[in-house]
Structure 1
């Protein structure tokens, strides 16, 4: 018996050491994710700590973190069993920023100058509610059933949809929110932010201020084999640069988001692993490198901050949107834009109308085709910072569907052939949520 107990004790000791060895290096990332999530959700959208912990932070390992909100100081902290405490500060106009111990919060900073002008127009071109419009080719009973089916029934937690919006011919024909959310709720788009970043390049190119098909303007690359990488290669995630996008481990992506001061430089410093335009590799680092490149197109940091809003975000009335910044003050173009579901819908409509917003052309019509054209190696799933259905990812949806996608099932679907935009915000990926079934149900409500 004593021998058995001794063996059990040794096994337990080995188990403790194994868990400590494999988990302790991740504590920075766990507490970093949690502190950032708490600060953003609370100070941007006004959610309670409990709501964030039960929703956004209900992820394996992340749920180990213990969090605190400091209302007066406008920051949140998180730690795991008292270890590796991290802090995220909130600054009006910049959102929440995860900081390190050397960051000086008292240093003056610039914020974007916003123009949230109001008008008497109805959605999507203004803030007034639309008049009821009934389309004879829409079976509203089927539509409402399909929308309701995307949400959990009372007492279940599986689909975890937070909002669903269907816009047809510029009119909202269906809109539903989960408990605790409404049309004013700002929801994190995660990697849908990548599509925002790409669009800024489309606008600059249309204005004659940038060319995407020439080598990326990065001085550090001029004397090595990276000098031939174009901005278009970067937009297609086809640069050939080394990158590991793994959120279950300590990877390039997690070190960038939760440890880096200047996120744009992480991908910049990587070496070439493949010849450009031959190997598709999804990389959040690439998008933050693009944000870094954008910063260098402007003489001042203030101009860089303002342009994203004046040329795109506020231009189309996405007045709720906040794009958060890193410690260097640059937009985290890969991951951190917040907006209401309706404002995310406006972004989809901009692409549905090929860059034209109520008579004002923001980017060339060809840009919409460019982002929706498959990149080499993606099997028809990816274009230029947009996901595609060209390869039949969703078999019951049209092949011309393309979308801005984000972690946990954030989607802005653009379907030109149907004059349709669908926005789904939630907490479940495709593997757990039947996206194809949702699209099939919505599309099936249109009479042929």
Structure 2
């Protein structure tokens, strides 16, 4: 009996210790589950049960329970009843993870949309697709790539779309998804942010060597040496911990902060610009805050991405979510259909020309695809690269738009190719290399 009591006591101490050390993480777990559920249901029109299945595939997140309220478009999640978090959706702005300070969106205005009359087929419109058979494409070989991508249950592919010569040559979706389903791009949204800066540069309103911090800061603080270019290349020297498996800078920003533009702005300088390369979602949201400073009003800031880029190239399904302070969360929260994500890749394949309209300068696509110092040839300016042959069987001119869980837009200029892959599981470099190799082998 004494041994049993001792064992029970040890077990109880273990449970108490586990709860004590992991309790703060519950805030992040329930926060992720709540936010993802509210966005998926209200933006992508997904069934809550299907979203829960996605959560079940993620360690820790599968510990959460989520309740959805259709009446107020909200979702509340908790872990064993502990640390409940609520997210609230607002049309045009997406869902926000609320806190004690802000129980809902903190402002009334929403973005205006600039949707033009649609009379053309993809990509310059949404009236179907061109179904001409391209003579240089072996469609049987292309089918092999699609079968391998979808038939392997471990890959968790949701959609795959291949564009050659501005024409869709292959497209497939899993059950429950279609060409109209909005898919969260996660960090693919970072490349949307970069493009907005490319547009401002093309319009002569900003330069890459501009220093975004105030004159007072520049006189007293080494942050004054940081340029827009340094921030776009993730080489500012500002401290940041991008770790999604613990309480870190990025998880605190996404699941606790009301104003995400401040998360990295308030960090210390740990190196001079260009000395280190450090991937940072905080940098992207800092840039979103700096972008907001370029406009006289909040309304102009909210309108700009849609007016200057998104609706201008017919990405009409896209929605960018904001934080509680009205900043676009361009590090992570951009939603669009697979076809609309493909349009973004096509814009870059055509070097900023959209059916005769110039969106950004022809040199901008070269700028974002130029390797950044200390990134080992893997990163440009908010775009990922193959400059050092990470994908060994794929041309080194490939550059890509990358997001969590294997969301990708691959742009391969030398093959006149854009490939969009979305899913619920990250893929290895070898898996992506195989997929792209099989697609390329189908083109003569």
TM range (shorter): over 0.9
The question of whether the paired residues in 1 share the 8 Å contact of 2:104 and 2:324 is answered with: no
**Where do 5+ consecutive residues of structure 1 fail to align?**
none
Instruction: Find the aligned partners of 1:180 and 1:302 in 2 and give their Cα distance.
Output: 35
2:342 maps to what in 1?
345
The question of whether the paired residues in 1 share the 8 Å contact of 2:241 and 2:249 is answered with: yes
How far is 1:334 from its partner? 0.1
2:287 maps to what in 1?
290
3-state SS in 2 of match to 1:346: helix
What's the CA shift string for 1:40-64, capped at 9, x where partnerless? 0000011111100101563111111
Instruction: Find the aligned partners of 1:311 and 1:278 in 2 and give their Cα distance.
Output: 34
What's the CA shift string for 1:245-298, capped at 9, x where partnerless? 000000000000000000010100001111101100000000000000000000
Instruction: Find the aligned partners of 1:192 and 1:257 in 2 and give their Cα distance.
Output: 16
The question of whether the paired residues in 2 share the 8 Å contact of 1:205 and 1:211 is answered with: yes
Instruction: Find the aligned partners of 2:366 and 2:19 in 1 and give their Cα distance.
Output: 50
3-state SS in 2 of match to 1:304: helix
Instruction: Find the aligned partners of 1:35 and 1:284 in 2 and give their Cα distance.
Output: 20
Q: 2:316 aligns with which of 309, 315, 319?
A: 319
1:192 maps to what in 2?
188
3-state SS in 2 of match to 1:150: helix
Instruction: Find the aligned partners of 2:215 and 2:108 in 1 and give their Cα distance.
Output: 26
What's the CA shift string for 1:368-402, capped at 9, x where partnerless? 00100110111000000000000111111110000
**Where do 5+ consecutive residues of structure 2 fail to align?**
none
2:260 maps to what in 1?
263
Instruction: Find the aligned partners of 2:120 and 2:172 in 1 and give their Cα distance.
Output: 23
TM-score normalised over the length of structure 1:
0.96
Instruction: Find the aligned partners of 2:80 and 2:374 in 1 and give their Cα distance.
Output: 44
What's the CA shift string for 1:179-217, capped at 9, x where partnerless? 111101000000000000010000000000111112124
3-state SS in 2 of match to 1:424: strand
1:241 maps to what in 2?
238
- 1:267-416 aligned at under 5 Å gives the runs 267-416=264-413
Instruction: Find the aligned partners of 2:147 and 2:38 in 1 and give their Cα distance.
Output: 31
- 1:154-165 aligned at under 5 Å gives the runs 157-165=153-161
Give the ranges of 4+ consecutive aligned residues of structure 1 lying more than 4 Å apart after TM superposition: none
How far is 1:107 from its partner? 5.3
Instruction: Find the aligned partners of 2:277 and 2:89 in 1 and give their Cα distance.
Output: 36
The 1:340/1:322 distance shift into structure 2, 3 A limit, reads same
How far is 1:131 from its partner? 3.0
Instruction: Find the aligned partners of 2:216 and 2:18 in 1 and give their Cα distance.
Output: 41
How far is 1:152 from its partner? 3.3
What's the CA shift string for 1:316-343, capped at 9, x where partnerless? 0000000000000110010000000000
The question of whether the paired residues in 1 share the 8 Å contact of 2:55 and 2:62 is answered with: no
1:8 maps to what in 2?
7
Aligned length: 443
Instruction: Find the aligned partners of 2:330 and 2:130 in 1 and give their Cα distance.
Output: 36
Instruction: Please give the root-mean-square deviation of Cα atoms over the aligned residues, in Å.
Output: 1.4
1:446 maps to what in 2?
443
Instruction: Find the aligned partners of 1:279 and 1:107 in 2 and give their Cα distance.
Output: 37
What's the CA shift string for 1:225-246, capped at 9, x where partnerless? 1100001000000000000000
The question of whether the paired residues in 2 share the 8 Å contact of 1:318 and 1:343 is answered with: yes
Task: Say which is worse superposed, 106-115 or 204-213, in terms of deviation.
Answer: 106-115
Instruction: Find the aligned partners of 2:302 and 2:274 in 1 and give their Cα distance.
Output: 31
Instruction: Find the aligned partners of 2:13 and 2:157 in 1 and give their Cα distance.
Output: 41
Task: Say which is worse superposed, 184-193 or 140-149, in terms of deviation.
Answer: 140-149
Whether 1:123 and 2:122 are equivalent positions in the alignment is: yes
The question of whether the paired residues in 1 share the 8 Å contact of 2:155 and 2:427 is answered with: no
Whether 1:92 and 2:91 are equivalent positions in the alignment is: yes
The question of whether the paired residues in 2 share the 8 Å contact of 1:29 and 1:258 is answered with: yes
How far is 1:108 from its partner? 4.4
2:170 maps to what in 1?
174
The question of whether the paired residues in 1 share the 8 Å contact of 2:122 and 2:130 is answered with: no
The question of whether the paired residues in 2 share the 8 Å contact of 1:159 and 1:433 is answered with: no
2:134 maps to what in 1?
135
